Structure 1
């Protein structure tokens, strides 16, 4: 069976002026595909086996190539945007024909020249296309463990869940909403994160914040900087509402309280009726 979007080893069953026809075996000539003459190795003969990739040409005909594409069916890789058109974006797949990223498969509008994480699939018209909705194509078999540091790219955001990340462009991960606190992260951004949990299904839960003890030091320095920015007195305390703290400090109320407590213990701040100031 000829497999669109995949590499497979096929047999030369017929030679013509413009190339050779390949089939699954010398006996099965009813289903065959053309390998153009410029792709045919020298001295190739009927019965020889060749490893090829199958895709469709500009006339929507199945065709073989000995070139290796930048991604195979159901794989996830970063591809460069060659051109943005009325129907979507054409991506450089490493073949003579670019592959389409339809508008409805874009999680954000892409720009010519940028690299985008996407997965290769076959659409309803039996054509190869790519999608930025890579969730179902990512692996859950990562080599990572709790507290490992990882790098990844944000490929989707959710008001309910948080930000979905492809670690190493391969592994499925999530930064929960509670770990974000107003951090300015967008689809396509690369992030450094810490694994806070490896779920039973293999998916990774990430945090862009440090361990509690380390994060308290970072948050404490931020509080001191904000005190200076407010001319010496931060105009609220750890009694303020979670919404105000999140808006002004990009921290949860519990993180703010921990950092304030640490600074008080170190005698770096004092709390007054007006707010918090340096000691």
Structure 2
């Protein structure tokens, strides 16, 4: 049985308080009656999340914000000298010891939290101290793949982000074409998987095969502005970034395609729908 993970267990005992669930190795976790939506029989299987409570394994059908080995944004519900308790999305709060806090955690505030099993205690534990851009030996991604991002914060090179709740990646400052906020959620794309095991992320799909995405963004903005947009080949990258949240390179590719298809007219200081 894996504490801090969602897994499929078998109903092995039943009483008025709930079910005892067992895995293939005969490890047991108790599922309180409050989480039982429908009656089950001995031998039935259930998908549950297993957590620890007072030294015992318990199960819940609630879905946690993150599992062991994952990141999530959590709100502090209580801060004590010994540590902080975070809303984990389940009945049991997640504990972050004081020594695992990058800075003092304040009740009511939101933080990026990583969940792991503490080697000394064997307990599911949280931390706000992260390794900076760790190197991964193998990654389940392909270049160009769309991914979910959690924005960690700004660095010297750009913005560090959590990719699909498990990996730390980097958006270089030159690839940031919109306002980013710490702890926000974004969609991103795998830009490159480097030989040193690090992950570069883009906020936009790239390449000519994705140019229709940028063309649609431009057409949507033209529709909003009654068919006229005060941007052209001579516009600065900053102007394009501010109005369209894309690079000048992608802007020029997109309007070039729209022009060739006779969708827009490119003037000296603006573009116009035909």
Q: TM-score range by the shorter chain?
A: 0.5 to 0.7
**1:173 and 2:190 are equivalent in the alignment:** no
2:152 is matched with 156
Of 178, 183, 191 in structure 2, the residue corresponding to residue 188 of structure 1 is 183
> For the pair shown, which has the larger CA radius of gyration, 1 or 2?
1
1:272 is matched with 267
* Matching of residues 71-82 of structure 1 within 5 Å: 75-78=69-72, 81=75
Of 53, 61, 77 in structure 2, the residue corresponding to residue 83 of structure 1 is 77
* TM-score w.r.t. length of structure 1: 0.58
1:65 is matched with 55
- Change in Cα spacing, 1:119 to 1:96, as seen in structure 2 (3 Å) is closer
2:253 is matched with 258
* TM-score w.r.t. length of structure 2: 0.59
Q: Kindly indicate whether the alpha-carbon contact (under 8 Å) linking 2:76 and 2:107 is maintained by their aligned counterparts in 1.
A: no
What CA distance in whole angstroms lies between the structure 1 residues aligned with 2:77 and 2:162? 24
What CA distance in whole angstroms lies between the structure 2 residues aligned with 1:276 and 1:97? 55
RMSD after superposition: 4.2
Residue 220 of structure 1, CA deviation: 1.4
> What do residues 206-254 of structure 1 show as CA deviations (whole Å, max 9, x unaligned)?
2231132243212112222222323332123121111111111111111
- Change in Cα spacing, 1:65 to 1:121, as seen in structure 2 (3 Å) is closer
1:202 is matched with 197
Residue 203 of structure 1, CA deviation: 1.7
**1:131 and 2:127 are equivalent in the alignment:** yes
Q: Kindly indicate whether the alpha-carbon contact (under 8 Å) linking 1:118 and 1:132 is maintained by their aligned counterparts in 2.
A: yes
Residue 200 of structure 1, CA deviation: 1.9
- Change in Cα spacing, 1:181 to 1:71, as seen in structure 2 (3 Å) is closer
Q: Kindly indicate whether the alpha-carbon contact (under 8 Å) linking 1:232 and 1:278 is maintained by their aligned counterparts in 2.
A: yes
Q: Kindly indicate whether the alpha-carbon contact (under 8 Å) linking 2:234 and 2:268 is maintained by their aligned counterparts in 1.
A: no
What CA distance in whole angstroms lies between the structure 2 residues aligned with 1:109 and 1:252? 38
| 1:240 partner SS | coil
Of stretches 94-103 and 244-253 in structure 1, the one that deviates more from structure 2 is 94-103
- Change in Cα spacing, 1:166 to 1:98, as seen in structure 2 (3 Å) is closer
Q: Structure 1: any 5+ residue segments left out of the alignment?
A: 1-49, 51-63, 123-127
Runs of 4+ aligned structure 1 residues displaced above 6 Å come to 68-72, 93-97, 107-110
Q: Structure 2: any 5+ residue segments left out of the alignment?
A: 1-26, 28-53, 60-65, 119-123
What CA distance in whole angstroms lies between the structure 1 residues aligned with 2:225 and 2:92? 59
**1:105 and 2:95 are equivalent in the alignment:** no
What CA distance in whole angstroms lies between the structure 2 residues aligned with 1:140 and 1:218? 31
What CA distance in whole angstroms lies between the structure 1 residues aligned with 2:168 and 2:56? 31
| 1:221 partner SS | helix
Q: Kindly indicate whether the alpha-carbon contact (under 8 Å) linking 1:92 and 1:99 is maintained by their aligned counterparts in 2.
A: no
| 1:154 partner SS | strand
2:143 is matched with 147
Q: Kindly indicate whether the alpha-carbon contact (under 8 Å) linking 2:76 and 2:85 is maintained by their aligned counterparts in 1.
A: yes
